[in-house]
Structure 1
C-alpha cells in the first residue's frame, strides 16, 4: 500500500498550515497518511531524536515523504539512515546548513549525500526566494547541487507560518504520484 508521512516544521504540529489538507488529499487517493507530532523536532539533537522517528514509521518503495522547514531538514537524516529506496521525498522550505543565527539541532554535522540520493527515487526541493527564516532558494540549490532531483523556486515566503496562513498547497498535491 502507498503511504505518506508528512513532517511538520520546527514548533509546528499536524494541525497547522497545509498539513491536514494535504493529508486529506492523499488519503482520498488511497494513501495511508501519517502526520506525526514531534514536539522535540529541532529541539532535541538529531542523533538522539532520529532513532525515535525511524522506529515510529515503516518505510518502503511506495512511501512518500514530505517535510516542511525543520521537518524537511529531518528528511535528510531519515533518507540517509533508512535501508530502502522510497518513491518520493519532497522538501518544502528545506535546508542543509544553518539558515539563520538560531541553533539547528535537526542538522547533522555532515551528510552522506550518496546514501541520501540512493534512498529516494524522486527528490523535490520547493523553496522561496524570500523566506523569513533563510530557508530560501539558495538552501534548495545547495541540496539540489548535491542530490539532483527537481528544484522549484517560488516567491511564497515560508509556505505557511504563524503569520502566513497557507491552508492549501495544490502544487504538492500535483507533485505526488
Structure 2
C-alpha cells in the first residue's frame, strides 16, 4: 500500500503557507501521496462539529503520516482520539492541548482520552519553540509529551512560520518522516 501524508495548516492558514507546500513536494518526490487540505474553519468552528467533517474527508490507515501546525496540530489530538486505526507517525508543530493565549480556541476539546490518542499513533513528535508569540511553546509541548510519550523537540524558531515569520522550508520534518 502506498504511503500517505496529510498535512494540516493552522488557524487562519492555508495549504500555501510557510513550509507546507515545500514539505508536500519533498514527500511527493519520495513516493508519498500527499494531501494538504484547506480548512478555513479550523479553530473557528467548534471541534465537535468540525472533526466529523475532517474524518469524512480523508481516509486513514497504517500507512498514513499526520502533520499539523498550530491549530492543525491541536486538531490532530481530537483526530487521533477518534480514529479506528493506528497511524505510524504524527508530528505536532507548535501544538497545544490547553488554551495557549487569550484567544478563543474552539479546536480544543474540554478533555482528552489520552490512552486512546496514544493507542492510535506509533511515533509522536512534538516540536515547539521556547518563545512562541502565540503561546504554543515548549511548555505546551511538554504537557503533550508527558501525557503521550514520544519525542519532544524544542527549538528557538518562534511559531515555525506565520504572516510575520517566513519559514519556507523545514528540513527537520523532512528528516523525521521516513
Which TM-score band applies after superposition, normalised by the shorter structure?
over 0.9
Which residue of the partner structure matches residue 8 of structure 2? 7
Indicate the SS of the match to 1:173.
helix
Q: CA–CA distance in 2 between the matches of 1:7 and 1:65?
A: 8
Which residue of the partner structure matches residue 89 of structure 2? 88
The 5-angstrom pairing of residues 29-44 of structure 1 reads 29-44=30-45
Deviations 1:140-165 (A, max 9, x none): 00000000000000000000010100
Indicate the SS of the match to 1:30.
coil
Q: CA RMSD in A?
A: 0.3
The 5-angstrom pairing of residues 16-165 of structure 1 reads 16-165=17-166
Q: CA–CA distance in 2 between the matches of 1:66 and 1:106?
A: 16
Give the drift of 1:23: 0.1
Deviations 1:84-120 (A, max 9, x none): 0001000000000000000000000000000000000
Indicate the SS of the match to 1:72.
helix
Give the drift of 1:51: 0.2
Deviations 1:17-71 (A, max 9, x none): 0000000000001000000000000000000000000000010001000000000
Name stretches of at least 5 consecutive residues in structure 1 with no aligned partner.
Answer: none
Indicate the SS of the match to 1:166.
coil
Taking structure 2 as the reference length, what is the TM-score of the superposition? 0.99
Indicate the SS of the match to 2:40.
coil
Q: CA–CA distance in 2 between the matches of 1:152 and 1:139?
A: 12
Q: CA–CA distance in 2 between the matches of 1:51 and 1:36?
A: 15
Moved over 3 A (4+): none
Give the drift of 1:80: 0.1
